[in-house]
Amino acid sequence: MEQGKAQKLRDRIIKDAEEEARKIVTEGKAEADTITGEARERAAEITKRAEARAAAEAKEHIRRQISIRELDARKAILGERGTFMDQAFEKAMKELRVKDLESGYSLTRSLLLKVIVTGDEEIVLSPEDKKGIGGDFLAGLNKELRAKGLKGEVKIADDTRPMKGGFVLRSGRKETNVTFEAMIAEMRDDAELEISNALFKEAQ
């Protein structure tokens, strides 16, 4: 009997141990499956983020390339505009010169009346204009200056300078550049700035 009891006890212990072992294995497998699932989800998330980052980088690269191409196109357009403006302003200066000569230097006189301050300045002209502007022109100018309350003692300078029209007004060491070239250059700067702003405002 004692031997039979011992056998039963042994069998039960073995059975209990087997059940416990199966339980441990089952729980271990479930835990392993959970860990594996979490790892897969994490891996998928990392992959998704990497793909999103790669897509964003590719999109940014394309955007930069498009911006560069657009900037190159705008530069090319600006270059063509520059050539056109060279021709346009050269033509404008020639027309300005012709009108001034044909009107007996009326534009030059009008500009002088605007910039003369004291009435005893010197007018520096081109060699051609120094020959073309006579005493009547100077006399009429000084008369108008005196009517404005100025001295009316403006003179033509002995020296000349190369210019395409207009003059340089000199008072002591101070000089005011009112040549046609200076006037056209100022107008061109304003025009080029306006065109440049229009072409490049969205280039960034």
pLDDT digit string (tens) for 180-199? 999 888 888 777 777 666 65
In the chain, the number of structural domains is 1
Residue numbers of the domain that contains 112: 74-200
Determine, yes or no, domain membership for 63: no
Determine, yes or no, domain membership for 182: yes
Burial bucket for residue 124 (CB in 10 Å: 0-12, 13-18, 19+): buried
- Structure confidence at residue 85 (pLDDT): 73
Determine, yes or no, domain membership for 107: yes
Q: What residues of the chain score a pLDDT lower than 70?
A: 1-22, 24-25, 28-33, 35-82, 84, 195-204
Beta carbons of 111 and 166 less than 8 angstroms apart: yes
Determine, yes or no, domain membership for 55: no
Burial bucket for residue 31 (CB in 10 Å: 0-12, 13-18, 19+): exposed
- Structure confidence at residue 92 (pLDDT): 85
- Structure confidence at residue 109 (pLDDT): 95
Determine, yes or no, domain membership for 6: no
Query: pLDDT per residue over 93-116, tens digit each?
Result: 899 999 999 999 999 999 999 999
Determine, yes or no, domain membership for 83: yes
Tell me the whole-structure pTM to 2 decimals: 0.58
CATH number at 100 reads 3.30.2320.30
DSSP strand pairing (155-160 vs 122-125): parallel
Determine, yes or no, domain membership for 15: no
- Structure confidence at residue 2 (pLDDT): 43
